[in-house]
Chains A and B, each alone.
Chain A
């Protein structure tokens, strides 16, 4: 299994508070991704990174920001959480940019 961890695994937070999710990899893969999974929508890409300090938006990036200061860490921040951001968040990594391996997921509930 690819060495990917996500923290926290579960979080409950209130509307309007900032939230940061962390993805950590031990594979030294260049590419990292954040997805959200919602019933009826499958997985959708939020942001991705193709190197340290190199990031770009996915299809559902509004309300999210990311940072990657080290190869192994990719942070997803919700600046002001809303109930529509209640979801399961997955991090994924890829060595060459096509075959992706996923972390265990973080269940976020915004009340």
Chain B
């Protein structure tokens, strides 16, 4: 079974600074997807970024980028120029490739990020 570990329960960063959230996963699969979701105090789960395991290039979305190390099974999220609106819980999630829709997302327990003014 796949597991996802987020080793930092809480982190804080100053506004405009850069912060990196860690995520490791355990799988014997070769083809899979990795995601970062953001959950602000509104409770809405928002997809931040996606990485396909077969792609060597790290995904980026504006101020958000990942460092995907397949051999190390590591998938960290870097937030540049942190903004107050980035304050949220961040969840790392794993899904193996397979029959479309039948594969479940496996979530880590989350990292609570606070951006301080």
State the A residues within 8 Å of B (CB): 30-31, 33, 40-45, 48, 50, 56, 58-59, 88, 90, 92, 94, 96-102, 104-105
Contact = CB atoms under 8 A, between A and B. Distances in A.
B85 interface: no
A59 B95 CA distance: 14
Contacts of A30: 100-101
Interface residues of B, number: 24
- Most B Cβ at <10 Å: residue of A43, A44, A99, A100: A43
A42 B108 contact: yes
Contacts of B47: 99-102
Interface of B: 33, 35, 37, 42-47, 50, 91, 95, 97, 99-105, 107-110
B111 to A, nearest CB: 11
A44 B47 CA distance: 16
Contacts of A40: 109
Interface of B is mostly: loop
A48 B102 CA distance: 8
Contacts of A96: 100-101
17 contacts: A30-B100, A30-B101, A42-B109, A43-B105, A43-B107, A44-B107, A94-B101, A97-B99, A97-B100, A97-B101, A98-B33, A98-B97, A98-B100, A99-B33, A99-B35, A104-B43, A105-B43
Nearest to B96: A98
Contact of A42 (B42, B97, B99, B110): B110
Given A41-B109, A43-B91, A98-B95, A104 B101 contact: no
Contacts of B37: 102
